[in-house]
Amino acid sequence: MNILSSIKELLTHIKEVEEDTIKMSQDSMLMLSEFMEKNSIELDDTAMQAVQYQDIISQQLTATIEAIDSVQKSIEIFENAYDSDEKIASDSIDKLHSKLSKTLQRAKDRRDAFSGKLGHEDETDEIEFF
């Protein structure tokens, strides 16, 4: 499942970039707020709207992060189910191989029995002719 691992790694990277972007936006807003408070600056409606956009962007990035988390969890569930199913299939193949081997051995024993060799496997051909 290399492709799914690659997708999970890519999603993790995207999520980390988005988290960094949210952090930078929050830090930026904090610095701006401190500057405005220190200098007693009041924001007009346009500037307030710009500040609100920062919050909206952070919310959108958070929603994307949640979607990425959901996709990653779904991939993990699929991988676990696939691994489990693969083990079940492998076990079934092993059991089938064992049964087929026993069936083959039984068939060989029967063939040998019909040709008079049953129970004489270790003995050399000691058939006497009169």
Distances (CA, A) of 66 to 14, 35, 62, 74, 127: 12, 32, 6, 12, 82
CA 115, CA 62: separation in Å to the nearest integer? 78
Contacts of 7 (CB under 8 A, 6+ apart): 75
Contacts of 64 (CB under 8 A, 6+ apart): 18
Residue 93 has pLDDT above 80, yes or no: yes
**Contact of 55 with 101, CB cutoff 8 Å:** no
- Each residue of 46-92: pLDDT tens digit? 999 998 999 999 999 999 999 999 999 999 999 888 888 888 888 88
Residue 122 has pLDDT above 90, yes or no: no
